[in-house]
Amino acid sequence: MSSDRRVVVTGLGAITPVGNDVNSYWDALVAGRSGAGPITGFDASAFDCRIAAEVKGFEPASGFKNPKDARRADRYTQLAVAAAKQAVADAALADPTGLDLDRIGVMIGSGIGGLITLETQHSIYLEKGPGRLSPFLIPMLISNIASGIVGMEHGFRGPNLAVVTACATSAQCIGEGWRIIRDGDADVIVAGGSEAAICPMGIGGFAAMRAVSFRNDDPQAASRPWDKGRDGFLMGEGAGMVVIETLEHAKKRGAKIYCELAGYGLSADAYHLSAPDPEGAGAAKAMASALKRAAVNLDEVGYINAHGTSTPLGDICETLAIKRVFGERAKGVAVSSSKSMIGHLLGAAGAVEAIACVKTIETGVIHPTINLADPDPQCDLDYVPNVARQARVDVALSNSFGFGGHNSCLVLKRI
């Protein structure tokens, strides 16, 4: 690995339940505004869970050069293409003049992929037979297609991959993009993730696992990380994208530099299909590895954007993991959960939350964890309850942990 190749963030893009661009998203987080509500995308009246954090007012064709192509894409791809277009424009890469497109790659994943397409096309198959299936069924369904289409839309011919690690997906897309750049195989990567699984199979499946909140009478209070009354996560949807590139490349082209992507760590719990390691050992290993790679001391870390799902086990295990890494200093580090407002974006969560870390470093504001009214005694860190906080943050961590025991951590650093 070419450790002398420093990697920086030069572009951001987001489609979220609280705003369809980065500034709207960030303003909502700082204000503590929830994007939760009753599900509107389908009739959920027969479901145990009838609430989610849906993207609102989204134009499916907004990211495509040819609007016809949007009709041949699943909603998760539509969200990805729109967020990527924002990030590419923010990084001043939309004009290919003078760019080596063979050195610009794309890494975009989805935890579930085209579930809406699968559900819709399966109904057509049952009702009308195989001859009526769409010829675009498979391309719309597969989890790598968003990455491929973003490459096609912008002509980026560098490495193009899609990591699929459940809720760690987009964080690992960013982290593996960092690794590819450091290895010298690309100069620029558009990285992130997208998810659109608020549909009968998605909601029904997670409800069957008892993973989601059933607080149907009060959706905006349903996602309540570290609160004693939490009963599961709130499903969200959306997409988050970052443009990362070498510091040298960014300076050469005069790009705006938000911060440095200084480190990346990952591990596996090797414990359970969906439950985290009860001692938080795997999550701690990912954080410690990321900090080591970033050459950052514990006392430099000012903020952790936690995985913070609002699940009974997950919140306790992440708290234990932070204590394992930071020891006595753990209670002196600000920790908050974006999911308290936007819900759990599954494969898109890591990227959207990494963007929150970037904005924290840029603005000097730490967004709150809302709905934290009665803290769980086993969750005793500084979770920035309910109100945003002014604070200079030079180093921020972004945690993402996925079903299957996939753990990842990104380190963002002021430059």
The three-state DSSP-derived secondary structure of 151-178 is: HHHHCCCCCEECCCCHHHHHHHHHHHHH
Q: What's the rounded Cα separation, in Å, for the pair 219 and 337?
A: 17
- Given a contact cutoff of 8 angstroms between Cβ atoms, the answer to whether 370 and 226 are in contact is no
Answer yes or no: 199 catalytic: no
Rg (Cα) of the chain, in Å, rounded? Answer: 20
Active-site residue, selected from the candidate residues 167, 199, 259, 409: 167
Annotated catalytic residue, options 154, 249, 307, 367: 307
Catalytic residue list contains 406:
no
Query: Of residues 249, 344, 367, 406, which has the active-site annotation?
Result: 344
Instruction: For residues 108 and 274, give the distance between their C-alpha atoms in angstroms, rounded to a whole number.
Output: 23
Residues involved in catalysis: 167, 307, 344
